[in-house]
């Protein structure tokens, strides 16, 4: 790779953290290994109030650290971007490792961003070598997608001029901030491009059903910010339909308790059919290997997203009741 002029002079890695001592050292080492040989860069760690050795490790690895406790991840990323003068921003999560080929490819990407700043790129996370069946079936097939609506905030690369025009991530969002950011950017003419050759590995993928459920329950909250976001999200609409079916079958069991098995079977059949349809769509044009596992994971996924919807309903009801009481 030939470096011309000062194209690769300024790049900043912005990494939000919260109790990431298990990974932050390795992530910063990977940055140094894959980026340090090519151009000048800086590593900015914005910590959300860690109680472990995250900040200490980051400082020892040469990162610039800022403290911002009790903030959303959007605010952490925005703060990091505000503390650097770099022209190219690489938003990286604290458990996402740059991998082979990244350093060789990034030069061309940065050169292009200088010439065409209306591009948001990066890549969808790859799985680690210590992967399990959940990662292989659910997460691995995503990495080569070309038609995508957004780039994960854990590996998103953008020119500062576009980031400034979009006005950063929405600070009020707890989750789904990367999707919302990319949607706003697209409305301003930006293009979203997944670049699989910028390979990264996500060490934080769930390796158990319990953690997979918890992950999707948390991420689902971003789809229920408003009726508009709900109506534009296929998973949210499916979860709403699943909730309606669950409520209907529960009412049926209450009214006709002797037919509990009919209503239970009906609901499970509904969930299985929807999950099968989603899995077939996901694997369209590909091998059917792992299809049954994908159906099972979709059943967990839809259930988790439905639980997220219930969480929002309970939260909204509680807030409204508190307001009425105070009035």
Helix axis angle, 177-187 to 73-82, nearest 10°: 60
How far apart (Å, rounded) are the C-alpha atoms in residues 327 and 324?
Answer: 5
User: Two tokens at 301?
Assistant: 């996924």
Angle at 311 between CA 307 and CA 313, to 5 degrees: 115
Residue 157 backbone phi and psi in degrees, to 5: -120, 130
How far apart (Å, rounded) are the C-alpha atoms in residues 134 and 297?
Answer: 8
User: Two tokens at 278?
Assistant: 């989603």
How far apart (Å, rounded) are the C-alpha atoms in residues 172 and 71?
Answer: 9
Q: Is the dihedral of CA 17, 124, 155, 196 positive or negative?
A: positive
How far apart (Å, rounded) are the C-alpha atoms in residues 119 and 125?
Answer: 19
**Predicted confidence (pLDDT) per residue in 60-93, tens digit:** 999 999 999 999 999 999 999 999 999 999 999 9
Kind of pairing, strands 11-17 and 42-47? Answer: parallel
The architecture in CATH of the region 11-207 reads Alpha-Beta Complex (3.90)
Closest residue by Cα to residue 242 from 307, 157, 180: 307
Contacts of 45 by beta carbon, 8 Å cutoff, 6+ apart:
15, 16, 17, 24, 54, 55, 58, 63, 64, 65, 66, 80, 94
Closest residue by Cα to residue 60 from 81, 31, 29: 29
Contacts of 69 by beta carbon, 8 Å cutoff, 6+ apart:
47, 48, 49
C-alpha atoms less than 13 angstroms from C-alpha of 51 in its C-beta half-sphere: 1
| Residue corresponding to tokens 């509904």 | 270
Give the residue ranges of DSSP H helices in the chain.
Answer: 24-35, 54-60, 73-82, 102-115, 133-134, 160-166, 177-187, 209-219, 227-231, 234-255, 260-282, 291-326
Mapped onto helix, strand or coil, the DSSP state of residue 88 is strand
**Per-residue model confidence (pLDDT) at position 6:** 45
Kind of pairing, strands 42-47 and 64-67? Answer: parallel
Low-confidence stretches of the chain (pLDDT beneath 50): 1-8, 288
How far apart (Å, rounded) are the C-alpha atoms in residues 56 and 2?
Answer: 36
227-233: long-range pairs with CB below 8 Å, 24+: 229/176
For the chain, what are the domain ranges? 11-207, 222-326
Adjacent-strand bridge partners of 14: 44, 91
């Amino acid at each position: 790779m030939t470096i011309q002029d000062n194209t690769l002079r300024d790049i900043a890695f912005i990494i939000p953290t919260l109790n990431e001592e298990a990974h932050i050292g390795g992530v910063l080492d990977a940055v140094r290994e894959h980026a340090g040989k090519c151009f000048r860069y800086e590593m900015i760690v914005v910590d959300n109030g860690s109680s472990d050795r995250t900040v200490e490790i980051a400082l020892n690895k040469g990162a610039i650290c800022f403290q911002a406790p009790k903030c959303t991840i959007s605010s952490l990323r925005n703060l990091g971007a505000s503390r650097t003068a770099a022209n190219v921003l690489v938003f990286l999560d604290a458990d996402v490792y740059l991998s082979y080929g990244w350093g060789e490819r990034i030069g061309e990407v940065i050169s292009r961003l200088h010439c065409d700043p209306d591009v948001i790129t990066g890549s969808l996370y790859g799985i680690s070598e210590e992967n399990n069946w959940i990662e292989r079936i659910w997460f691995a097939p995503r990495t080569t997608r070309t038609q995508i609506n957004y780039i994960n905030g854990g590996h998103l690369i953008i020119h500062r001029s576009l980031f400034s025009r979009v006005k950063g991530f929405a600070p009020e969002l707890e989750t789904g901030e990367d999707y919302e950011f990319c949607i706003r950017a697209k409305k301003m003419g930006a293009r979203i491009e997944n670049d699989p050759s910028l390979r990264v590995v996500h060490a934080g993928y769930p390796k158990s059903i319990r953690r997979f459920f918890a992950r999707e329950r948390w991420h689902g909250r971003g789809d229920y910010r408003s009726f508009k976001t709900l109506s534009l999200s296929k998973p949210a609409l499916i979860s709403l339909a699943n909730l309606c079916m669950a409520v209907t079958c529960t009412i049926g069991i209450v009214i006709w308790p002797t037919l509990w098995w009919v209503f239970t079977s009906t609901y499970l059949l509904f969930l299985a059919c929807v999950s099968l349809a989603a899995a077939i769509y996901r694997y369209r044009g590909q091998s059917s290997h792992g299809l049954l596992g994908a159906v099972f994971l979709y059943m967990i996924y839809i259930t988790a997203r439905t639980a997220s919807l219930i969480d929002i309903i309970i939260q909204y009801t509680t807030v409204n009741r508190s307001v009425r009481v105070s009035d």
